[in-house]
A and B are shown apart, each in its own frame.
Chain A
Amino acid sequence: MSLQATTKANKVDRLAELTAQSETSAGVSLWREAYRRLKRSKMAIIGLVIIALFVLVAVVGPWVAPHSPSAQLWRGEVFPNKGLFVGPRAGNWFGLDNLGRDEFSRVIVGARQTLLVGVISMLIGLVIGAAVGALSGAAATLGGKVGQRVDTVIMRFTDIMLALPSLLLAVSIAAVMGQSLTTVMVAVGVVQIPTFARLLRGSMLAQGGSDYVLAAKALGVRKRRIALTQIMPNSLSPVIVQATLSLATAIIEAAALSYLGLGNPDPSVPEWGVMLAQAQRFFDNAPMMSVYPAVGIIITALGFTLLGEAMREALDPKLRG
């Protein structure tokens, strides 16, 4: 055997070794280290506590609420036309809303719908966005000339979506779909697609030049396998961070859409965004009616933002070591 052939074989072995390492240890250790740093982060702890409380309320809300959120039990005591509202009192801790319903119960029960709006919108954006981004990223890194074309076309398309103010895009979608909570969720979700797509693509491009991808290519691993088992898993961390942050923006944007009159007009099941949108008409006489759902939205969004930011810091390779 010639010397050349031996060194070539050695090289392949060495590359295979590197690939194996990246498959077994490197990916795990990044996450493990990120987790360790996350546990030490005050921001992450506060965020997690807020999220845990929110999820707890969302789950048990309907059972612990003192009154029905939809029954107008004290209808005769509230006169919005005359500016007469009922503030906090013994039986109704947050007072009554404009239809004589217990505000505290509505806030408690509303958590579930709010969580649902946030999670479903985020999932719509994440799933479609990640699929588009993965396609684009894989095409760009492994697809050769044709792949790069495909990537360019897809990215131009996301550029167009990004060029539109998200609220307007959502409004346009809502105009086609009509007025409902589903509309709000779809609209908010679609708006997030380009963000997720760009993020995953960018991250995959960054990974595409790594040694382990080169190694896998050299070993003759099939392209689809490289994309799915090597590049993708290593590119997911920014997407996961974004998903967490998106939960916050989804809840806020859903509230804005409700304010613009695109949410469900008055659902029997309360939702914070809709409650806030409804209450703002009475802001001058009953400001607290707006403040309760708003504070709920702000604190929840803050929880997801804190956790997301802490995760971003924990996963940032620049801050490692």
Chain B
Amino acid sequence: MLRLVVRRLLQLIPTLLGLSILLFIWLNRLPGGPASAILGERATAADVARINRALGLDQPIYVQYGRFIKRLLELDLGTSVQTGQPVWDEFVLRFPATVELSVAAMIIAILVGIPLGYLAARRRGGWLDVASVSGSLIGICVPVFFLALLLKGIFAVNLGMFPSYGRLSTGLDATHVTGFAVLDGLLTGELDASGDALMHLVLPAVTLSSIPLAIIVRMTRASVLEVVGEDYIRTAESKGLEQKTVRGRHILRNALLPVVTAIGLLTGGLLSGAVLTESVFAFGGIGSFIRTAIDARDYPVLVGFILFIAMVYVLINLLVDLAYSVIDPRVRVH
């Protein structure tokens, strides 16, 4: 297990290195280069030259790249043009909100998706099957931000069942411990704050879960259908094993393998969705921040975010590989 972890972490290095080169090229290709990104589009030539000297942009390209890497290793992602604060600090401040939202969305997608996919497969052709297959096909075709607007319009603005924006109601004074609003309330015993945060979480999380849910339902269904036809299921049934055992240990365990991989791959998309969802619900996570960074051409934030996300993505896929080795003994590394 440890060897697998170490090997995967080592594999991270070329990926991140490649990514840093791409980002470096990208930064240099930006209209006007970093100088006008810092000074804005109305900078004078003298100002640009001054900034270029200050940033070392008059030096050879490999020296510049070396510096870029050195700063990255020191977790120095630069300063946000919008807030004037270090990009890293801004991320640390906002990351918990995005994690909370993404995790909630994934929990919904998994808790609903896997049972639904399983039942749809076991009752193939029944109404549940037809409904979940067509539902999931439509689910992946609905633009996330439109779904967000729709849910917000119906359940928050018209029916008033849920709050329409933010993470906590104004006036509610909650203690910050971890930055995860729901968890903080539970830890400090402020149950009202926890409940309030949960209500704020419902609509964004449901919105964000739509695409992973659709994909998980379809994958589980297809996978269960394939496994059910296998010889070992017939063997298990004919040797008189209890239905419960066959279902749990033989069908589900085997059928979930591709689903687990898919869940890992969905994380990248989840973060794209979070940018859109958070901006509709003004959720205050990294997503909302990125949305405004795009408008403000806040390049240090965008570069930092891309590196940040790439790392998160690779780490999540590492976790998926580990989960894989737990579920599937065949890929276990001894």
Contacts and interface: CB of A to CB of B under 8 A. Distances in A.
Interface stretch (A108-116, A162-170, A230-238): A162-170
Given A160-B22, A165-B268, A309-B137, A276 B146 contact: yes
B15 interface: yes
Contacts of B291: 260
A302 B153 contact: no
Interface stretch (A123-131, A132-140, A172-180): A172-180
Contacts of A283: 149, 153
Interface string A298-319: 1001100110010000000000
Given A164-B306, A176-B29, A284-B157, A156 B272 contact: no
Q: How large is the interface on A (under 10, 10 to 19, 20 to 34, 35 or more residues)?
A: 35 or more
B282 to A, nearest CB: 14
A163 B297 contact: no
Interface string B200-241: 000000000000000000000000000000000000000000
Interface in A155-211: 156-157, 159-160, 162-168, 171-172, 175-176, 178
Contacts of B31: 176, 178
Which applies to chain B's interface (DSSP): helix, strand, loop or mixed?
Answer: helix
B230 to A, nearest CB: 12
A248 B18 contact: no
A255 B146 CA distance: 10
A297 interface: yes
B29 A290 contact: no
B30 interface: yes
B302 A175 contact: yes
B306 A172 contact: yes
Interface string A251-262: 010011001111
Given A248-B141, A276-B143, A305-B137, A256 B268 contact: no
Interface string B1-21: 000000000000011001100
The A interface, classified by DSSP as helix, strand, loop or mixed, is helix
Contacts, number: 113
Interface in A212-264: 248, 252, 255-256, 259-262
A163 B146 contact: no
Contacts of B153: 283-284, 287
B26 A176 contact: yes
B61 interface: no
A280 interface: yes
Given A256-B276, A280-B149, A294-B146, A163 B299 contact: no
Nearest to B293: A171
- The contact size tier of chain B is 35 or more
Contacts of B143: 252, 255-256, 259, 276, 294, 297-298
B268 A166 contact: yes
Q: Which residue, B15, B145, B153, B313, has most C-beta atoms of chain A within 10 A?
A: B145
A283 B26 CA distance: 36
Q: Which of A165, A248, A290, A305 has the most CB of B within 10 A?
A: A165
A171 B146 contact: no
Given A156-B15, A159-B15, A175-B302, A164 B146 contact: no
Contacts of B269: 165-166
B295 interface: yes
Nearest to B309: A165
Given A172-B26, A256-B145, A165 B137 contact: no
A302 B302 contact: no
B313 A262 contact: no
A261 B145 CA distance: 13
A70 to B, nearest CB: 24
Contacts of B144: 256
Contacts of A160: 15, 18-19, 22, 310
B142 A298 contact: yes
Contact of A164 (B140, B149, B310): B310
B146 A157 contact: no
B271 interface: yes
16 contacts: A163-B19, A163-B313, A165-B309, A165-B313, A168-B309, A175-B302, A176-B31, A178-B31, A252-B143, A256-B276, A259-B276, A260-B276, A260-B291, A276-B143, A287-B153, A298-B141
Given A164-B268, A164-B309, A166-B268, 5 more contacts: A165-B275, A168-B305, A252-B141, A256-B143, A298-B138
